[in-house]
Amino acid sequence: MLRAAGDDPLKSRRNRSEMKKLIAAALIVCTTIAVVAVTIIRHVNHKQNVAWCYDHGYANYATKDGFCVGARGKLIKVGL
């Protein structure tokens, strides 16, 4: 590789190192945002399922996989 006079190979290595750190930080930030978004969406969906169960007379509780628990433990799929 041809270099212009005065180029410092150590400076190039430092720049690569800084770029790797910047990329790693960006990946961590993006992953954190994605995890938070998924968590919020799941929480909102669960609250909607609980509201549906309560509105349709299954006030015991709603499971996280989309079922209401009726009298005597009967499972009813949310939305049916």
Q: Which of 2-11, 44-53, 68-77 has the highest mean pLDDT?
A: 44-53
Q: What is the 3-state secondary structure (H, E, C) of 3-50?
A: CCCCCCHHHHHHHHHHHHHHHHHHHHHHHHHHHHHHHHHHHHHHHHHH
Pair of tokens at residue 11 = 């400076």
**Structural domain boundaries of the chain?**
11-77
pLDDT at residue 5 above 60?
A: no
Dump pLDDT digits (tens) for 11-69.
Answer: 777 788 889 999 999 999 999 999 999 999 999 999 998 899 889 888 777 888 888 88
